[in-house]
Chain A
Amino acid sequence: EVQLVESGGGLGQPGGSLRVSCAASGFAFSTYSINWVRQAPGKGLEWISYINDDSSTMYYADSVKGRFTVSRDNARSSLYLQMNSLRAEDTAMYYCTRGRTSGSPQYFDYWGQGALVIVSS
């Protein structure tokens, strides 16, 4: 069974940093690209980041470019999102999603349950 389980997040201060992790199981993690999608409270979905299978290619939404960094550890079947220079508008549920189609952009066939990030002083 494919599973994506996010952890981390929580409460962060404006200008501060947080890291969200995603542990994958039930599929060959090292052969799939992974994306982060976020959802602000009561709002719609926003794609924010893509990383390919071997970490050679990453893409970011303009809203997080230069502040967020995605990385992965294929040996640990894990994905990370380092979030710096946090802003109030980064408050959202962050979903780790498995991407389909070669390259980017992709659609997302499996989603984690999400990690909540709240940015507030």
Chain B
Amino acid sequence: EIVLTQSPGTLSLSPGERATLSCRASQSVSSNYLAWYQQKPGQAPRLLINGASSRATGVPDNFSGSGSGTDFTLSISRLEPEDFAVYYCQQYGRSPPTFGQGTKVEIK
């Protein structure tokens, strides 16, 4: 199965700063089938990005995804208070679908 490794484990930033989250795959993700999710405490995950760079419905444009092959990035251009959460990447290019271990974005 494809192993996804997210870095850093924790990102400590202030509101208004830019966040850059990395997701690296153990083998190439076909067709860039890579999704990103946001999870807040006590809530279910929420889809942010699919196809590596397509924002889901209702996701603000300060979230952007990029990358291809084995290296993918989620960027948050200006952190809002509601953006502090855990973020997961997920590949769906090869069975079984797998998730990264998550990156926590916390308030500095």
Contacts and interface: CB of A to CB of B under 8 A. Distances in A.
Q: Real complex partners, A and B?
A: yes
Interface of A: 35, 44-47, 59, 61, 95, 100-101, 104-114
Given A107-B33, A109-B47, A111-B46, A47 B100 contact: no
Contacts of A59: 95-96
A56 B10 CA distance: 42
Interface stretch (B62-70, B76-84, B85-93): B85-93
Interface residues of B, number: 24
Contact of A108 (B33, B47, B91): B47
Contact of B93 (A45, A105, A109): A105
Interface in B34-49: 35, 37, 43-47
A107 B33 CA distance: 8
Contact of B92 (A45, A106, A110, A114): A106
B95 A111 contact: no
B8 interface: no
A47 B96 contact: yes
B72 to A, nearest CB: 13
Contacts of A35: 97
A57 to B, nearest CB: 12
Contacts of B95: 59, 104-105
